A and B are shown apart, each in its own frame.
Chain A
Amino acid sequence: MFELASRGLAPDVKILIDISRAGLDRLELRGDELHIGSTVTLAELTNSPILTNDRLYAAIAETAREISPSQVRNVATVGGEICSAISFFDLPAILLALDAEVNIVSKGKQRMLPLRDFYTDFLAIALEPGEIVTEIVLHKPKGKSSAAFIKLGRTASDFALVNVATSLSFDESGNCQTSRIWLGGVGATYHECKASESILVGSKLDEPTVRKAADLAEDYNSRVDEELFTQRFRKNSK
């Protein structure tokens, strides 16, 4: 807590409430919907058979495993990862690629918000005072689908310098139907590579098409943004 405060990440905290036993720790399938509570830990994500046995959602478990070290996974929560709004964090990237929604609850009210609309700036989320994120909700797209996550760090147990999460779904004839490509660590918030996505949609994902999509994603000059990003990080942490 002290470390967070010294980096300007926890200004003026007057009251701290322990929500670890508030019932927000359930990970379950309700019909077609996957619900992951805010206080579910990353370790639980990596171990949950609901995720690991699912062809699409296994990517969530794999992403959580990339967050090192295991001691962190044992205590870090889904809600914490999402609400930190640190744009190189890993879990939000894969959840964005899976079109996740956040369930926001306040006194007497409740609203669902797509995760893509949840981040407004570096360290900033679309929560009003009195609101809390209770869970993440995911729906499967139609047809066959899969997702993947890669991260590039310096050391093996590092934060990401940059990460990328993708998901794809296919129709019966094997054409790509939907495509999501999200980049983390390249700016104030996560970045969706819309141009690359549209190249893939309708294709059979042959190598030249994938290469073309990848090249378009590179169009985002990450060196410039790393400078900008560093400046904004420091500005925000004063």
Chain B
Amino acid sequence: MQEVQQLKEPYLLIGKSVTRTDAREKVTGAAVYTYDMHLPNMIFGKIKRSTHAHAEIIGIDTSRAMKLKGVRAIITGKDLPNIRRGILVKDTPVLAVDRVRYVGDPVVAVAADTAEIAEEALELIDVEYRDLPAIFEAEEAMKKNPVVVIHPDLKSYSAKYAGADAGIPNLHAYFKVRKGDFDAACEKCDLVVENTFQTNIVQHFQLEPVVSIAKVEPNGTITVWDSTQVPFMLRNELSEALQIPPEKINVIVPHVGGGYGGKLLSVIAPITAALAIHSRRPVKLALTRKEVFDCSCVRQPFAITVKDGVMKDGRIQARKVTSYISGGAYSGGMGVNEAKTSICGISHYKTDNFWYDAFRVYTNRVPGGPYRGFGAMQVNWAIESQMDILAERLGMDPIEFRLKNLLNEGDRNVIGEMTESTEHKALLLKAKEMVSWGSETAPQGPWRFGKGISIGHKWSFAPTASSAVVKYSFGGTLNVQASAVDMGTGALTVLGQIAGEVMKMPIEKIRVSMPDTNITPFSDGAFSTRQTYNDGNAVRLATLDLKKQIVERAAPILRADPLDLDVRNGTVYIKRNPDKLIPIDDLFVKGVSRGGAFAPVRDFIGAATWYQTAGALRPEDGQCTTDRACAFYDVVAASAEVAVNIETGQTKVLRLCLAVDPGTVINPMLLEGQVQGAAFMAFSNTLFEELVFENGVAVNPELADYKIAGAKDAPEITVSWRGTPFPDGPFGAKGIGEGPMLPTTGAITNAIYSAVRVRPHDLPITAEKILMKLASESC
């Protein structure tokens, strides 16, 4: 990995590949995940799910199951408050009440002494359905007179939603960008090219399945342990769903075995809590792997049409993009927002005339949830494929063509944001160099070689907020309390490095607590590449606040002005005379019981909140009301070299190169891990993964038939990073979690075309598709 980082001062921890604070626990198997947890008196929950894609519930008979020995509670939708939850559109009941809308929709929940008894009880429950017509394709769902309306009461759901006036009954989320006049501009163009692309349904496949444990405490409050990415959002959803005040709910997050967006919505926590309330026992509800595949959430498929008007000299004069999103039966938490967030997958090129319409419609399938890349990944692939198609039509090199159209510093992008840096071009050229663009490998037997390139930028959503509390204890340890979730990213290690840098303390002396909503202060949680930047800023400011208090306490003792003092290694010293110092421990008074010590006036505790604002996007044209609609952009360029076998259609990705600039890189090793992880995930999506549905039933909801790339398939993935400090970030840092997801698919797709002149317009790019296209094109 090669890097160029301009660090202002000799940092102690920033820029260092410090070992993860949770490394030892995770590697030795000592780390406790919610899935591992066992509480005294705990019983087990299971869910009876709809076997119909769309039906009315005529009746539910639980009488036989109630008699089964070991069953402690059985609940249906009627036993719960009549509340629907959701963000933007409140459409999701905890348990179906009068209607089921996808195969797998939860209908009845059972808690029993063992999981086996609970399963047996499910078999004894009878649900009578009356089938309704079902919709499986976005095309049908877009109709003004569809065969069925999946949410007939949509307009009465409490949140207002864009597109309500469109007259399309199954439409519930709509995002629109209007800049310039596409139609008029197109007519003046030298070349007009239109293409359609279809992305695949994939599943997050977190190593730790979705799981929740709920316990009613003696004082009537509820404690929930959950493998969640968003403890406070979960607390809110629980509060809403169960109609219990949020302060009576405590969410604790143990180690999380992967999230990727699939643990942003409260898939089962409200059900678990309801079972705990009804059974008066702690309840654990863990989804099976199959349920995670087809009953939690999936990455929703986009059908994308791109129509471009270009000039002979390579300028894109007019661009119109339309996305039809088959959203599934419900809004999927933030999944509904992918219509809007997808814009950042295509906003990296400048053009004066740009129209975008993104429609999310209901279909009778498991809900589409947020998935790393948040909608931007899907459209970025379409655009980057189209860019290569255009370049070829124009007779231009794909890189030259992109350079001609990428944003420059000072440009306003298609949603009116100001472009503040020139990372795009530099990173594209870096990716070009990394893959040795221009040097071709000759065919070897049936293998054909090719190279491809692609670029994208992913925004980090705003407005969001994070708070942090940092405490200095006698003995020289620092404790950071934030509600940041480390779902494998290394987020907590990074926060420790930030706090340690401010106090100039070694990482061994720093502990970062895991989220507990009763104790750790608010944070919006782990999504949209936000934690390093937002929680990092909160931690930095909180530590500065802490340092200020320490320094003010030491000032009279050192007979100096607080402004002349600094801290390092557990001491306070005079900047101009560093030999004059005092250990911070000396500022404490020993406790009477000799067990510890306290600071005489008040504890050394620093606190801060980072509230990140952003402009809004106007509903009528998607234009930003200020210079920035997000916290920051994470620009990533990717290049790939592939070998395609013309006899079997197989693609081997020989190498993947990622060029990134995530602001100051706080921990290079963790950065590399994140980039390689995202690139690998995207690589697997591109060539292998697809959750196939037939009439709403998942055909391959398990590992034998849902193909995920493994270690042996992995290409060589090289990462090159620059660390250009970003003014608003902690020590100049931004984030990196999602960016590499975007251009990787395009790079591989374009490389395949370069190798065999075949370009599937739908993912995944399987061997069969390549063979079929090779066969049809040779006729």
Contact = CB atoms under 8 A, between A and B. Distances in A.
B470 to A, nearest CB: 44
A156 interface: yes
Nearest to B708: A155
A68 interface: yes
A159 interface: yes
Nearest to A223: B768
B442 interface: no
Given A154-B766, A156-B713, A157-B713, 14 more contacts: A3-B702, A68-B710, A68-B712, A69-B710, A154-B688, A154-B767, A155-B707, A155-B708, A155-B710, A155-B712, A156-B710, A156-B712, A157-B710, A158-B707
B770 to A, nearest CB: 12
A3 B701 CA distance: 12
Contact of B648 (A3, A69, A152, A159): A152
Interface residues of B, number: 13
A157 B704 contact: no
Contacts of A155: 688, 707-710, 712-713
Interface in B703-728: 704, 707-710, 712-713
Interface residues of A, number: 10
Interface string B663-693: 0000000000000000000000000100000
A186 to B, nearest CB: 15
Nearest to A234: B699
User: Closest 7 interchain pairs by CB?
Assistant: A156-B712, A154-B707, A156-B713, A157-B710, A155-B713, A155-B707, A155-B709
B642 to A, nearest CB: 16
B14 to A, nearest CB: 39
B331 to A, nearest CB: 31
B676 to A, nearest CB: 18
Contacts of A69: 710
Interface of B: 648, 650, 688, 702, 704, 707-710, 712-713, 766-767
Contacts of B713: 155-157
Interface string A124-155: 00000000000000000000000000001011
7 contacts: A3-B702, A68-B712, A69-B710, A152-B650, A155-B688, A155-B708, A156-B712
Nearest to B764: A154
A190 to B, nearest CB: 20
Interface string A59-72: 00000000011000
Nearest to B707: A154
Interface string A3-21: 1000000000000000000
Nearest to A159: B704
A123 to B, nearest CB: 15
Contacts of A154: 688, 707, 766-767
A9 to B, nearest CB: 11
A124 to B, nearest CB: 20
Contacts of B702: 3
A71 B569 CA distance: 48
A68 B707 CA distance: 13
A134 to B, nearest CB: 29
B495 to A, nearest CB: 36
Contacts of A156: 710, 712-713
A154 B710 CA distance: 11
Contacts of A68: 710, 712
B108 to A, nearest CB: 20
A14 B723 CA distance: 64
A68 B712 CA distance: 10
Contacts of A157: 710, 712-713
A154 B713 CA distance: 10
A3 B648 CA distance: 32
A207 to B, nearest CB: 13
Nearest to A162: B648
A5 B688 CA distance: 27
A152 B446 CA distance: 15
Contacts of B767: 154
Contacts of B708: 155
A158 B705 CA distance: 9
Contacts of A159: 704
Contacts of B704: 159
A68 B710 CA distance: 11
Contacts of B766: 154
Contacts of A152: 648, 650
A190 B707 CA distance: 24
Nearest to B650: A152
A83 B87 CA distance: 52
A120 to B, nearest CB: 24
Nearest to A158: B707
Nearest to B648: A152
B501 to A, nearest CB: 42
Contacts of B710: 68-69, 155-157
Nearest to B710: A157
Nearest to B647: A152
A157 B713 CA distance: 8
A157 to B, nearest CB: 5
Nearest to A161: B767
A111 B447 CA distance: 48
Nearest to B712: A156
Contacts of A3: 702
A58 to B, nearest CB: 22
A154 B709 CA distance: 9
Nearest to B652: A156
Interface string A105-126: 0000000000000000000000
Contacts of B712: 68, 155-157
Interface in A48-88: 68-69
A155 B704 CA distance: 11
A159 B704 CA distance: 8
A94 to B, nearest CB: 20
B683 to A, nearest CB: 11
B116 to A, nearest CB: 10
Nearest to B704: A159
A106 to B, nearest CB: 32
A158 B713 CA distance: 11
Nearest to A154: B707
Contacts of B688: 154-155
